[in-house]
Amino acid sequence: MYKVIIWGMGKIYNQYINSLKLQEFLSNIEIVGITGRERLYDYLDGYRYIEPCEIGKLHIDYVIVATEGYYNEVIIEAEHMGFNRENIFPIRIFAIPCFDFVNYVKLVHSHISIFANDCWGGLTYHSLAMKFRTPLINMFETDEDYLKLVSNLKYYFSLKLEFDRWGYESNGDAYPVCRLDDILLYFNHYKSMTEIEEKWYSRVERINYNNLFIMMFTENRHSLEMFSNLPIKKKVCFVPFESTIECACTLKFANKKSNEPFWRLVNGIPRGIYNDYDVISLLNDGEGYNKRIIKPDF
């Protein structure tokens, strides 16, 4: 059981109090107390108010930030008290479906590097409030080039990123297309090479090759077969069709949303629109089977 302190006791705290109580009931956390800028109450929901200057004297594992207005200031103050940045979480993580604090902590401290052939990786990191440990953020690749990339990650990420040409969105907006040897990377959420390079090389340095999760989405059965042959333990390929291949994850609702591009459906899951898998189990264990969408046996 982890000991936590809740930093904030206003509107945001009120939105999540039931979720906090559930984690207490499951014996995942013990809420030592609450704190904030003002001592509005001596006790709230049974938790005693603790002055910020007293927090450092207590044995607390994690700080849960229950405020939006001065979120960054709380992080800085908590770090000055000696808390590791990885042990400070926004309270919004408690809204993740089927959330379990113990499994979440396991995931955060695993320093997982998520690779994806579109924005899924960045969206997933953001939804989990976790640090980016991959350079493949806000961009996309073709199936062929992505399969080359994830087949030889260390080689490609040892290379210097080179500008190749400009690509264009349907509305005419331009974005850089870069080259790593024989593959192209489409940085469709960037405006300049300066912006790209500010992020790319620092994120390359953060890659944890000891804990990789490789995601792909495709509508091509041959690409799925190629992906399945990658010698990577934790991987998933989202597809709109049924398949017996072990790493394939058929999005059950895709045929009901055939009027939307498949990439948008894939990215709708980390955004909380659809519910095909349990993201924490998927990343921790490589298995994201979601009982929420299966008919109950009763």
User: Residue 64's beta-bridge partner residues?
Assistant: 6, 89
Distance CA 171, CA 275 (A): 31
Residue 204 to residues 186, 235, 245: CA-CA distances in angstroms? 17, 20, 31
120 C-beta neighbours (distance < 10 Å), count: 25
Quick: pLDDT tens for 274-293.
888 899 999 999 877 676 67
Overall residue count recorded for the chain in this entry = 298
Confidence (pLDDT) at 64: 97
223 C-beta neighbours (distance < 10 Å), count: 20
Round the average pLDDT of the chain to a whole number and report it: 93
Distinct helix (H) and strand (E) counts, the chain: 11, 13
Distance CA 108, CA 105 (A): 5
Quick: pLDDT tens for 216-253.
999 999 999 999 999 999 999 999 999 999 999 998 88
pTM for the whole structure: 0.93
State both tokens at 96: 């993740």
Residue 10 to residues 3, 15, 32, 36, 63: CA-CA distances in angstroms? 21, 9, 18, 9, 16
Domain residue spans of the chain: 2-95, 113-293
Confidence (pLDDT) at 37: 85
Please name the amino acid found at residue 248.
A
CB 293 within 8 A of CB 252: yes
User: Which CATH number describes the domain made up of 2-95?
Assistant: 3.40.50.720
Long-range contacts (CB closer than 8 Å, 24 or more residues apart) made by 287-292: 288/236, 288/249, 290/98, 292/97, 292/98
DSSP state of 160: P
207 C-beta neighbours (distance < 10 Å), count: 19
